[in-house]
Structure 1
C-alpha cells in the first residue's frame, strides 16, 4: 500500500535538495526584499548590490589582468555567481534543472563528485565568459553549473550506450537541442556570453566525469594505455 504522505524530496539525494534550497531560498529573499518585506527601502536594491559584489564582470577581470593582481574577494565571484539570479523565472528554471538532472547524476556520483561537477563547471564557464567574450553584462545564475550536470548526464548516457553496443551520438541529443535554443535566443538578443559560459560548463562536466565518476579514473587510464 502506497504512503501518499511521503515527501517527494525523500527520493532526491540530500546534496541535490540542499543546492536547490540554497538557490531558491536566496531568490525568495530577493523577492521579499523587492516587495518591501525585508530590508526596508534599502531591500529594493539588494539584488543589484549582490550582482555588483558577487557576479562575474568582464571589466573586473580586465582590471585584474591589467594590474597583475587577483584579490581573493574578486576571485570569489567565480564561485558565488551561480547562486544569484536575474529574477524569479531565471532561478526557478535553474532549480528545476538541478532537481531533475541532479537526481540522475547524484544517484551515481558521490556527493563530492556531484558538487565538483557543478562548481568546477561553473568556474570554467565563468572563465570562458571573461576570456572569450567582451560582454558588458554581468554573468549570474547557475546555468553553467547546470550544463556541467548535463555533461555528466551525457557521460552516463555514453557509458550506457557503450555497454549496450548502441549508437553513442544519441547521448548528445539533449545538449544539441538546448544549444540550438540558446543560439536562437542569442541571435535575437545579440548576446552570446551566456552561450559560451554554458557550453564551457557542459564541456567541463563531460570531461570531469571521466575522472570523478565511479571507476572513471581507472577507465581513463585503461583507454590511455589502449592508445
Structure 2
C-alpha cells in the first residue's frame, strides 16, 4: 500500500530540491515585494536584482575589449539564471528543472547534473553575447534547463542506439520546443534569446559525453585509438 503522507520531495535528489527552492524562493520574494511586503523599496527588488545579476552583452563587450574580467561581472554568466521577469517566466524553468534534473541526476550523478546546468548557462550567455548583437540583457534559467534537455536527449540518443533504433528520434523534444519558440516569436514578436537556449542545449548534449557514467574513459579510449 502506498504512503499518501510521503513527502513528494523525497523522490527528488537533494541538489534538485535546493536549486528549485532557490529559484522559486527568489521569485516569491519578488512577488511579495511587488505587493508591498518589505516596505516601499521592496517594489524595486526585481529591477535591482536584474541590474545586478542579469547578463549584459554590452558589459561583456567592454570586458573583452579591455581584457579585464572582474569576478562580479563574471558571476553574471551564471547568476542571470536565477532571476526571472515574472512568475510565468520562472514556472517553465522550475518544471523542467524538477523533471529533467531528477532524471539526469539519477542517470549520471548529482555532480554531473549541476555541471550540465551551470556549463549550459555559461555557454548560453557566451553565445548570446558573442554570436549576435542583442540590446537586451539575458535573464532567466532557460539556457540552463535547455542544457538538461540536451542531457536528456543524450540519454535517449544512447538508448535508441543500443536497441538499434533511429537516433534522430531523440531530438524530437528540442525540435518541438524550438518550433514553439519560432511560432510565438513570429506571432507575438520575440528577441534573440533562442540563440542562448540552443547553445545551452548543445552544451548539455556535448558535455554528457564526458560526464555520463564511463564517458570520460570512452573519450580517452577513442583519443588513444587515434
Q: Same fold (TM over 0.5)?
A: yes
Question: Is residue 186–residue 195 contact of structure 1 (8 Å, CA) maintained in 2?
Answer: no
Question: Is residue 23–residue 84 contact of structure 1 (8 Å, CA) maintained in 2?
Answer: yes
Deviates more, 1:65-74 or 1:23-32: 65-74
- Tell me the residue number matched to 2:157: 158
Measure, in 2, the Cα distance between the counterparts of 1:124 and 1:182.
Answer: 19
Deviation at 1:226, TM superposition (A): 6.0
- Tell me the residue number matched to 1:18: 18
- Tell me the residue number matched to 1:206: 205
Question: Is residue 147–residue 202 contact of structure 1 (8 Å, CA) maintained in 2?
Answer: yes
The unaligned stretches of length 5 or more in structure 2 are none
Measure, in 2, the Cα distance between the counterparts of 1:217 and 1:68.
Answer: 33
Deviation at 1:223, TM superposition (A): 4.3
1:96 match: secondary structure? helix
Q: Cα–Cα, structure 1 residues 185 and 224, in superposed 2: closer, same or farther, change >3 Å?
A: farther
Question: Is residue 56–residue 81 contact of structure 1 (8 Å, CA) maintained in 2?
Answer: yes
Spell out, residue by residue over 1:39-95, the C-alpha distance to the aligned partner (whole angstroms, 9 max, x if none). x11111111111111100111112222322211111111121100001011111110
Deviates more, 1:128-137 or 1:65-74: 65-74
- Tell me the residue number matched to 1:173: 172
**What's the Cα RMSD here?**
1.4
Measure, in 1, the Cα distance between the counterparts of 2:33 and 2:155.
Answer: 41
Measure, in 1, the Cα distance between the counterparts of 2:26 and 2:188.
Answer: 27
- Tell me the residue number matched to 2:98: 99
Q: Cα–Cα, structure 1 residues 218 and 113, in superposed 2: closer, same or farther, change >3 Å?
A: same
- Tell me the residue number matched to 1:2: 2
TM norm structure 2? 0.95
Deviation at 1:215, TM superposition (A): 0.8
1:42 and 2:37 aligned: no
Deviation at 1:130, TM superposition (A): 0.4
* Residue pairs, 1:129-148, within 5 angstroms: 129-148=128-147
Measure, in 2, the Cα distance between the counterparts of 1:114 and 1:203.
Answer: 15
Measure, in 1, the Cα distance between the counterparts of 2:132 and 2:205.
Answer: 22
TM norm structure 1? 0.95
The number of equivalent residue pairs is 226
